[in-house]
Chains A and B, each alone.
Chain A
């Protein structure tokens, strides 16, 4: 039985990772709302964020602030390429939903293999944004990076909220998510909005990747777990709701951290995937939608 300190420690760790899952989950929602597609390659943006930033920092010696400022647009461009080269032509040709999902999954593996061939399979990491720490409260240690994750995460959520409520583009995106035909009739360039959604979603993934890398490591294959956990976060929150995805991510992160204490590190993904199946089967509209509600017609 884990004692109170272990319990608190894992909750603290879980909140950090959970916020990252939440950001990835929001990325899923942004694309889903704009296009009706679930981008299975979402996790690859997290991997790219960490890898690109590490290369810029360690191999090119660029200072952190500049590296971050370069990484985010670079990854956003990769998201736009994915939209332009794969998703858009398929939608134009009326491809089936499963075919589009499959194409995004294939894109993820392709990007992973390209990274593997160019950067190798060595796990990489870079140092925390501020040296020193961890902060000790009683026996619970809190790394400084956690504060960065929490701070940047909260800041991003605020920015997203402002974007979706105050800017023309953000409101146009929300209009697309409510009714795409009506949005098109109102003169909103829907296909342009999809491009914006992919860029935004990729950028969110990149930030998540940059924030989380100092606390663990990054390698060509870290994308799938982040993508799947982000998807689980989005499902828990009721798919398509950004706030729900964030809350779902935090819940999942804490649950997973507790599962590590209880079951051992190896089975944390098994635990998360089991949560996914339970939520999908019992609460298809998310945990926060109330019990016994009917499944959305997908």
Chain B
């Protein structure tokens, strides 16, 4: 195997091991139900970030590109849902889907010219997109109420049946997160997912195989934007309040810390990373003030010493298994 280190297409088929991560997520949600509302809130954030990172993973892990501005789409989703539900009385689910559509269309318009760029230029252009949306969310006060933030967002619900308690919402978030990973997993093993992996491996080779690189990159970018938008909407409903700070540069770095810790380019890495990075600072209570410093320190440490994250460990395990299978 000399291909891109983080990309490996696993054989299709359900083994009992593949059922472990979803069961772990459900167990975690179950644990949350038995705990205090505080623990529930922390786990809720973890699942929201898991959705965001799963989308980011599409573009960065599977396709080998970079987006430093994914927070822009989370901001569209968050503010869209907040405004539509609080001011216009929309159904939360309808608002979520509607803002996802807006984000998707925005991603097409923005991505079409931007994704021609490579390397530093792509990184800076996407970073600029995130900053532009952040600045607009501060300055366009008549729409977003600026630094004051937007409060009074109703909780999630369908057709008058609202999820009033945080515990009910946690279950909903866990289900949505699992659904997100399920969709990602199915897409990854499809013809489309293999095309993305070929782009990550080598663009000239992918082109030679007849992969329409620009189109596939754009689709992967749009999928990432849809996930980010959904995560932003869910955040608005879960907390009931959003402000520009939520969707700032910190969000970008935090999500990258999760993605790299869990293992970029893997199916469950984003979720695992999201849970660990969300829970860890809560476990180390004294770190409250130092939270951002801890995130960045973890991120830099992983980037230097273990760029494949925790999933790198499981790959070691897998190689052993593959060898024994060959031997048999």
Contact = CB atoms under 8 A, between A and B. Distances in A.
A284 B297 contact: no
Interface residues of A, number: 40
Contacts, number: 122
A86 B300 contact: yes
A103 to B, nearest CB: 5
Given A105-B252, A298-B120, 10 more contacts: A93-B304, A95-B307, A109-B296, A110-B300, A231-B124, A274-B132, A276-B124, A280-B125, A281-B114, A298-B119
Contacts of A93: 304, 307
Given A86-B300, A99-B303, A284-B121, A228 B131 contact: yes
Interface of A: 38, 40, 86, 89-90, 93, 95-103, 105-107, 109-110, 113-114, 117, 224, 228, 231, 235, 239, 266-267, 269-270, 273-274, 276-277, 280-281, 284, 298
Contact of B128 (A239, A267, A276): A276
Given A38-B120, A106-B253, A109-B296, A228 B304 contact: no
* SS class, residues of chain A in contact with chain B: helix
Nearest to B138: A266
Interface of B: 60, 66, 68, 113-114, 116-121, 123-125, 127-129, 131-132, 135-136, 138-139, 249-250, 252-253, 256-257, 260, 289-290, 292-293, 295-297, 299-300, 303-304, 307
Nearest to B297: A110
Contacts of A228: 127-128, 131
Contacts of B303: 90, 95, 99-100, 102-103, 106
A114 B293 contact: yes
Contact of B135 (A96, A102, A270): A270
B260 to A, nearest CB: 8
A113 B119 contact: no
B118 to A, nearest CB: 5
A97 B119 contact: yes
A-B residue pairs, 4 tightest by C-beta: A298-B119, A266-B139, A110-B296, A106-B296
Contacts of B138: 266
A21 to B, nearest CB: 15
B123 A98 contact: yes
Contact of A113 (B123, B292, B307): B292
Contact of A273 (B132, B250, B297): B132
* SS class, residues of chain B in contact with chain A: helix
Contacts of A114: 293
A113 B124 contact: no
A93 B129 CA distance: 30
24 contacts: A95-B304, A95-B307, A102-B260, A102-B299, A103-B303, A106-B253, A106-B256, A106-B303, A107-B300, A109-B249, A110-B297, A110-B300, A113-B292, A113-B296, A117-B289, A117-B290, A266-B138, A267-B135, A269-B131, A270-B135, A276-B124, A276-B128, A277-B114, A281-B116
A284 B117 CA distance: 9
B125 A277 contact: yes
A132 to B, nearest CB: 35
A109 B255 CA distance: 14
Nearest to B298: A106
B136 A98 contact: no
A99 to B, nearest CB: 5
Nearest to A96: B307
Given A93-B304, A269-B135, A109 B128 contact: no
Contacts of A298: 118-121
Contacts of B139: 266-267, 270
A42 B32 CA distance: 42
Contact of B120 (A95, A101, A266, A273): A101
A89 to B, nearest CB: 5
Contacts of B256: 102, 106
